[in-house]
């Protein structure tokens, strides 16, 4: 197997600086999309790429542990740098890494940059977006087309540089001749429709031309963000590929490279927001039935075992005992614990849910939920990346 590569990064038409960084060090390819004020995002993504580049030999073993360790190392490097310089505090980056061995592509991923497989005319996304809307899509609550235009689409729930402990999604796919792998930042996917990306990958056979033209598409659609694209074509070594062409042709990895089967290993998600369907009608009907049958004392008992997270009169997120709904004008809730989280600091579509009341199974679960909101407000909310030009 040999790989032919094209890559391009571009500041786009709106941003002042390019905070994306990428690495083409075949068979290792990485895209990192930095965030943070001024130069910090740039430094975050470059720090990740530098660390991965410096330790790329560690990754050639292509086992999921070493790829995750590499990304965790980059996470630590960013945290260390941010701690040493207050101006860099709060910086972070996405990181989507693809490593090829003799027959597979191994993927390690955090954030909302993406890896895709283009095969037989079909474009398949290989990574989950670690975004709030990505989560809603996975739960079937939002259609992918709606997510693509959602105002909160770039609020990411996982990044390097946020926490000591970062969960890395790991997976691997078999690849063969004719397969094309695309790795890109959201500056491409938030501007260019899935079908348009597929069409370009279908019509443009040269990987460098394909990368250039995808960037041009994003810019002609507005270029609202930095755009980074890597296109990797898998070809047989004897396929007559011409090294003089724009892409690099590389040798297959060393024979001693272990290529042990790597199942898709999804580490536990650490999404900051736990959304639970609220069975309002069921609850209300149940309470009415209990009222009718057993009277108020029984209702009190039932309510003492019900918990929800809501917003109190001061506008803060609070833990309540009872249910959010009033029944026949009766308030059936009691504030149990107020948090320091101002509901106004949460994205609108989450706030609306909390204002309705998010029902949980226990007080412990309520506390976990508000802790997740706390982390969200501390870590993510100050860095919405869409809709604001340069924070
Ligand atoms: Mn971006």
**What confidence category does residue 238 fall into, taking pLDDT thresholds of 50, 70 and 90?**
low
Report CA(225)–ligand 1 centroid distance (Å).
Answer: 6
Strands (E), the chain: 2-10, 20-25, 28-35, 92-93, 95-100, 104-110, 114-119, 122-125, 169-174, 180-184, 227-235, 248-250, 307-311, 316-327, 330-342, 358-360
Report CA(378)–ligand 1 centroid distance (Å).
Answer: 20
Residue 268, exposed/middle/buried by CB under 10 A (0-12, 13-18, 19+)? exposed
CA 100, CA 62: separation in Å to the nearest integer? 8
CA 147, CA 154: separation in Å to the nearest integer? 10
pLDDT of residue 199: 98
What's the pLDDT tens digit per position in 115-173?
999 999 999 999 999 887 787 788 787 788 888 777 667 667 788 988 888 999 999 99
Residue 224 confidence (pLDDT) above 60? yes
Report CA(33)–ligand 1 centroid distance (Å).
Answer: 5
Give, rounded to a whole angstrom, the gap between the first and last alpha carbons of the chain: 44
Report CA(54)–ligand 1 centroid distance (Å).
Answer: 24
**What confidence category does residue 284 fall into, taking pLDDT thresholds of 50, 70 and 90?**
very low
380 DSSP assignment:
I
Report CA(188)–ligand 1 centroid distance (Å).
Answer: 8
C-alpha R_g of the chain: 24
Report CA(118)–ligand 1 centroid distance (Å).
Answer: 22
Min mean pLDDT across 20-34, 228-242, 352-366 is at 228-242
Report CA(35)–ligand 1 centroid distance (Å).
Answer: 8
Report CA(44)–ligand 1 centroid distance (Å).
Answer: 13
Percent above pLDDT 70 for the chain: 75
Report CA(197)–ligand 1 centroid distance (Å).
Answer: 17
pLDDT of residue 105: 95
DSSP-derived pairing of the beta strands 227-235 and 122-125: unpaired
pLDDT of residue 212: 98
Report CA(224)–ligand 1 centroid distance (Å).
Answer: 9
3-state secondary structure of 217: helix
What's the pLDDT tens digit per position in 287-321?
444 444 444 444 455 566 678 899 999 999 999 98
Report CA(94)–ligand 1 centroid distance (Å).
Answer: 9
Backbone conformation region of residue 331, classed left if phi is above 0, alpha if psi is from -120 to 50, else beta: beta
Residue 29 confidence (pLDDT) above 80? yes
Report CA(190)–ligand 1 centroid distance (Å).
Answer: 9
pTM exceeds cut of 0.75: no
DSSP-derived pairing of the beta strands 2-10 and 227-235: antiparallel
Protein residues with C-beta less than 5 angstroms from the ion ligand 1:
33, 185-187, 225
Report CA(57)–ligand 1 centroid distance (Å).
Answer: 28
pLDDT of residue 265: 28
Report CA(385)–ligand 1 centroid distance (Å).
Answer: 7
Residue 336 confidence (pLDDT) above 90? no
Report CA(19)–ligand 1 centroid distance (Å).
Answer: 8
């Amino acid at each position: 197997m040999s790989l032919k590569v094209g890559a391009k990064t571009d500041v786009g038409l709106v941003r002042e600086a390019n905070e994306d960084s990428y690495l083409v060090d075949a068979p290792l390819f990485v895209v990192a999309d930095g965030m943070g004020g001024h130069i910090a995002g740039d430094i975050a993504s470059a720090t990740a790429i530098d660390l991965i580049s410096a330790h790329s030999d560690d990754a050639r073993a292509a086992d999921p542990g070493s790829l995750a360790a590499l990304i965790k190392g980059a996470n630590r490097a960013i945290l260390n740098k941010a701690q040493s310089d207050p101006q860099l505090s709060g910086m972070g980056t996405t990181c989507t890494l693809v490593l090829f061995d003799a027959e597979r592509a191994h993927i390690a991923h955090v954030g909302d940059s993406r890896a895709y497989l283009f095969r037989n005319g079909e474009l398949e996304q290989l990574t989950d977006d670690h975004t709030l809307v990505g989560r809603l899509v996975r739960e079937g609550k939002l259609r992918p087309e709606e997510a693509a235009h959602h105002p909160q689409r770039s609020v990411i729930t996982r990044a390097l540089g946020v926490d000591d402990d970062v969960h890395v999604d790991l997976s691997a796919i078999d690849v063969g001749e004719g397969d094309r792998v695309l790795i890109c930042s959201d500056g491409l996917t938030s501007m260019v429709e899935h079908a348009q990306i597929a069409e370009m990958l279908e019509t443009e056979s040269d990987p460098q031309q394909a990368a250039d033209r995808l960037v041009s598409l994003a810019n002609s659609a507005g270029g609202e963000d930095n755009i980074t694209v890597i296109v990797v074509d898998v070809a047989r070594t004897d396929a007559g590929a011409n090294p003089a062409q724009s892409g690099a042709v590389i040798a297959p990895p060393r024979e001693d490279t272990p290529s042990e089967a790597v199942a898709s290993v999804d580490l536990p998600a650490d999404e900051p927001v736990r959304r639970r369907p609220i069975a309002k009608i069921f609850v209300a009907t149940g309470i009415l039935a209990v009222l009718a049958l057993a009277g108020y004392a029984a209702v009190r008992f039932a309510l003492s075992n019900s918990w929800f997270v809501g917003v109190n009169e001061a506008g803060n997120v609070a833990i309540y005992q009872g249910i959010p709904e009033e029944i026949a004008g009766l308030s059936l809730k009691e504030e149990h614990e107020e948090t320091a989280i101002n509901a106004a600091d949460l994205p609108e579509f989450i706030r609306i849910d909390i204002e309705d009341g998010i029902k949980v199974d226990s007080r412990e679960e309520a506390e976990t939920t508000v802790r997740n909101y706390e982390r969200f407000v501390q870590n993510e909310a100050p860095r919405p990346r869409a809709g604001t030009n340069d924070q």
